[in-house]
Amino acid sequence: MIYGDKHTRVLVQGATGNQGAFHIDLMNQYARKVGGEGIVAGVTPGKGGREVHGVPVYDTVREAVALHDTTASVIFVPAGAAADSIMEAADAGIGTIVAITEHIPVHDVMRAVAYARSCGSAVIGPNCPGLLSPEECKLGIMPAPLFKRGPVGVISRSGTLTYEVVDELSRAGIGQSTVVGIGGDPIIGETFVDCIERFSADPETKAAILIGEVGGALEIEGAEAALSLGLPLVAYIAGVSAPKEKRMGHAGAIIEGGEGDAESKIRRLEAMGITVARRPSELPECISDLL
């Protein structure tokens, strides 16, 4: 597993909001099931002293970290304050920061991610479903019943497509070491390359699946990293029928100037020797061949 395990002590920023409270309950249900630490603290400025599903709430991240030794944070703060929340977590020494929030202004994200990196923190997202290491930890909103523990790492720019792929794998008896949703915004924290590097150093991960979409070149960079590190990789690129110059769902999923469309990415990946599935249902067979 990467980014966290059963012993990871987690705080939730935006703990008293509807989404924060809802997912604190779900994440701790999973933690109890697998014998993990789970969510041990929440943060909402001005609401310190409350509890959410038995989890104590504090006014600041620094206070929560000092009292509960938390090393990861999941952020459900509204877009206007989310960048400040990322920086507050990084400033308090949180190593893994999962930003679920969407619609954060691009310049705010740039500033927050740069600051977090300067503090040595890894930001997953924003606008992402988080990550889940089966039988270890859940940081975010991924539907845990779909997951099965095993040797395949999954990295994806999509949310619901990730769940479909995981379901296909689990039904085929292929488990996952860790599944990471890196988010589909133009500016994100951890990229395919960052995750590939972690997976390549993880003894439990024997191969990886890269789930990409139109826009940008992150998938190509991730594949190059996998080849250089010797990590077996299979890819799926969504959006073959996406019209040019039109954003498709994610803010980062836009084809511009003839670059970043699905077919050109597929051709480049195949030219590198990467197996590319044409539909999600083909991925279990593709990854089985590698394993």
Share of the chain above pLDDT 70, in %: 93
Integer Cα distance of 84 and 252 in angstroms: 22
* Ranges assigned E (strand) in 3-148: 9-13, 38-43, 51-52, 55-58, 72-75, 96-99, 122-124, 130-133, 137-140
Q: Which of 23, 53, 103, 250 is catalytic?
A: 250
Six token digits for residue 41 = 């603290």
Tell me the binding residues. 16-19, 47, 100-102, 163
Taking a C-beta distance cutoff of 8 angstroms, is the pair 286, 277 a contact?
yes
pLDDT of residue 249: 53
pLDDT tens-digit profile of 256-274?
A: 445 568 899 999 999 999 9
Reduce the DSSP state of residue 225 to 3 states and report it: helix
For CA atoms 16, 64, 129, 81, the dihedral sign is positive
Integer Cα distance of 166 and 254 in angstroms: 25
pLDDT of residue 216: 81
Six token digits for residue 169 = 């794998």
Integer Cα distance of 266 and 219 in angstroms: 10
For residue 23, indicate whether it is catalytic.
no
Distance of CA 230 to the CA centre of its chain: 22
- How confident is residue 291, by pLDDT bands cut at 50, 70 and 90? confident
pLDDT tens-digit profile of 24-35?
A: 999 999 999 999
pLDDT tens-digit profile of 234-243?
A: 999 997 755 5
Tell me the binding residues for CoA. 16-19, 47, 100-102
Distance of CA 32 to the CA centre of its chain: 22
Q: Is the omega angle on the peptide bond into residue 151 within 30 degrees of 0, that is, cis?
A: no
pLDDT of residue 253: 46
Average pLDDT over residues 97-124: 97
Domains and their CATH numbers in the chain: 9-124 (3.40.50.720), 143-290 (3.40.50.261)
Six token digits for residue 258 = 């003839």
Six token digits for residue 201 = 């150093």
Query: Residue 251: is its pLDDT beyond 90?
Result: no
pTM to 2 decimals? Answer: 0.93
